[in-house]
């Protein structure tokens, strides 16, 4: 029972919604079975922990059917009924929070009942809701399309031989909704193909992109943004990146925060691809995009920041030598990390910051605070310590770290083979680099070529910088 659909749902159910479920169980409108009301009382006695020793078919049956012979099926039926009640609650809550959909259902009902006055009042209310809608995303056009359809159906039922624009309005808004979603989904497909190499079939995309060139449709913000993203993914032409950033600066507030964040992620990913291909000038553009997402509060996901986003922003801030801004970000945005990630993410990233400032003792002290139960931070901390000891030139400590890191990687079964290869390559190449004397151009060039040929090397950019320094060339870090 403890791993049943019902208990899994109820564990996630907030207290206020669990109380609403109780009210529904007590209401004759939603529930006509007294046993189900008693069953809710049983569930209430074990909510929200649902400890395994307290939640079982026998305990539930004894609570609901006092003095009766145990019958597992009776509890099963109650569980099924309670799941249906919970799902009714979900639907009810969704409808209550979606005024446009609620009005749409009212319009259909009044139309079927041929209540002209009530229909017109609801139509007027729906128009006000749409006109006050905060965003101009695809959903906005879909709601307008539905409203125009209801209006046209009402007009048809009236059988009045007068001009009516509702059908044209339905068609126009359907076009806007369709094109927005077509380009949005096609962009996501191309993005996934770049990462996963899945085979998808894109139909009419080129024809539709060509079509909107000569119409006002291409000027609508949602269509303009997604068609630009799509063309950028198809061609990798920087002109579309420039156009996308301009559109986002002007129109990002036309969209819900989650959707605007996804739009910015497309621009961010473009910069990342360019940086990985060697175009380091995109580092400043990437930092600028991250600053925009911070300013517009788009980096938040349900009020928190992903530890990976936190780290990416810090890394690119350091890469652009904006140390004061980056240090402020590290401290100020720690509070937005989820508690289970906060201390490790904060200590590791602040250590990485001090490493790049060449304040190695501070970095080592912070790394000692990283909890090594997290395999990612364990590996990254050891890799950072290795680079610190290399930079300090402490021979014994450096080689001791190499040996302990190698043993750790060999014995740990939680690290994937791909990641092990990357860390082993770091150990192998940093050890060779440590032994090569400054100015030994031949061996340094050979090492550089071996790293480039290997490809699967963590911190390859840092290794490249250290080779350049030993060759007597300037380095950014």
pLDDT at 394: 87
Strand partners, 305: 337
CB 182 within 8 A of CB 141: no
pLDDT at 154: 87
Percent of the chain at pLDDT > 90 equals 79
Predicted confidence (pLDDT) per residue in 222-246, tens digit:
999 999 999 999 999 999 999 999 9
Band (221; pLDDT cuts 50, 70, 90): very high
Percent of the chain at pLDDT > 70 equals 96
pLDDT at 477: 44
DSSP character for 160?
-
pLDDT at 199: 76
Predicted confidence (pLDDT) per residue in 130-183, tens digit:
989 999 999 999 999 999 999 998 888 876 655 568 889 999 999 999 999 999
Q: Which two tokens stand for residue 401?
A: 């770290």
CA distance 11 to 9: 5
CA distance 264 to 256: 12
H or E stretch at 298: none
pLDDT at 118: 94
CB 234 within 8 A of CB 270: no
CA distance 125 to 374: 54
pLDDT at 4: 94
CB 123 within 8 A of CB 106: no
CA distances from 14 to 18, 21, 41, 291, 352 (A): 6, 11, 17, 34, 38
Can you state the angle between helices 166-196 and 205-212, rounded to 10 degrees? 130
pLDDT at 418: 86
pLDDT at 463: 94
Whether 474 shows a pLDDT value over 50: the answer reads: no
Q: From the CB of residue 96, how many other CB atoms can be counted at a distance below 10 Å?
A: 9
Whether 282 shows a pLDDT value over 80: the answer reads: yes
Band (197; pLDDT cuts 50, 70, 90): low
Band (476; pLDDT cuts 50, 70, 90): very low
pLDDT at 14: 95
pLDDT at 37: 96
Q: From the CB of residue 76, how many other CB atoms can be counted at a distance below 10 Å?
A: 14
Residue holding tokens 């300090």?
A: 392
Whether 362 shows a pLDDT value over 70: the answer reads: yes
Q: Which two tokens stand for residue 179?
A: 């094109």
Average pLDDT estimate for 288-295: 97
The number of C-alpha atoms within 13 Å of 416 and in the hemisphere containing its C-beta is: 4
Predicted confidence (pLDDT) per residue in 242-273, tens digit:
999 999 999 999 999 999 999 999 999 999 98
In terms of Cβ atoms closer than 10 Å to its own Cβ (0-12, 13-18, 19+), residue 421 is: middle
Closest CA to 218 of 203, 237, 231: 231
Whether 19 shows a pLDDT value over 70: the answer reads: yes
Give me the chain's average pLDDT, please. Answer: 92
Predicted confidence (pLDDT) per residue in 115-124, tens digit:
999 999 999 9
CA distance 283 to 273: 11
pLDDT at 195: 65
CA distance 475 to 477: 6
Q: From the CB of residue 223, how many other CB atoms can be counted at a distance below 10 Å?
A: 27
Strand partners, 133: none
């Amino acid at each position: 029972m403890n791993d049943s659909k019902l208990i899994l749902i109820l564990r996630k159910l907030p207290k206020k919604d669990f109380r609403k479920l109780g009210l529904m169980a007590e209401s004759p409108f939603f529930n006509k079975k007294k046993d189900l009301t008693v069953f809710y009382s049983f569930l209430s006695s074990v909510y929200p922990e649902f400890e395994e020793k307290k939640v079982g078919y026998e305990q539930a049956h004894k609570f609901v059917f006092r003095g009766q012979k145990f019958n597992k099926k009776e509890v099963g039926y109650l569980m099924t009924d309670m799941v249906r009640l919970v799902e009714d609650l979900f639907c009810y809550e969704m409808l209550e929070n979606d005024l446009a959909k609620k009005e749409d259902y009212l319009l259909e009902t009044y139309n079927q009942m041929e209540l002209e006055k009530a229909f017109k009042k609801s139509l007027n209310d729906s128009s006000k809701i749409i006109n006050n809608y905060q965003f101009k995303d695809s959903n906005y056009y879909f709601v307008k399309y539905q409203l125009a359809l209801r209006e046209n159906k009402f007009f048809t039922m009236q059988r009045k031989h007068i001009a009516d624009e509702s059908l044209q309005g339905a068609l126009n808004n359907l076009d806007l909704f369709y094109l927005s979603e077509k380009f949005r989904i096609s962009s996501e497909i191309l993005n996934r193909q770049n990462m996963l190499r899945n085979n998808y079939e894109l139909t009419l995309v080129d024809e539709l992109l060509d079509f909107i060139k000569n119409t006002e449709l291409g000027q609508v913000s949602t269509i303009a943004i997604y068609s630009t993203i799509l063309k950028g993914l198809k061609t990798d032409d920087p002109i579309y990146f420039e156009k996308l950033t301009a559109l986002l600066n002007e129109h990002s507030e036309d969209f819900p925060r989650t959707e605007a964040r996804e739009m910015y992620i497309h621009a961010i990913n473009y910069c990342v691809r360019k940086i990985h291909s060697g175009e380091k000038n995109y580092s400043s553009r990437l930092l600028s995009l991250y600053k925009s997402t911070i300013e517009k509060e788009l980096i938040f996901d349900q009020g928190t920041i992903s530890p990976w986003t936190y780290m990416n922003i810090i890394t690119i801030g350091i890469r652009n030598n904006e140390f004061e801004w980056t240090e402020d970000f590290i401290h100020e945005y720690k509070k937005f990390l989820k508690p289970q990630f906060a201390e490790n993410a904060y200590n590791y990233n602040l250590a990485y910051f001090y490493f790049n400032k060449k304040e190695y003792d501070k970095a080592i002290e912070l790394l000692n605070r990283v909890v090594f139960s997290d395999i990612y931070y364990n590996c990254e901390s050891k890799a950072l310590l290795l680079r610190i000891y290399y930079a300090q030139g402490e021979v014994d400590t450096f080689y001791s770290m190499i040996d302990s890191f190698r043993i750790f990687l060999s014995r740990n079964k939680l690290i994937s083979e791909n990641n092990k290869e990357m860390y082993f390559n770091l150990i192998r190449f940093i050890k060779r680099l440590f032994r090569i004397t400054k100015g030994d151009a031949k061996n340094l060039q050979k090492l550089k070529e071996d790293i480039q040929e290997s490809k699967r090397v963590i911190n390859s950019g840092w290794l490249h910088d250290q080779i350049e320094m030993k060759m007597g060339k300037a380095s950014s870090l």
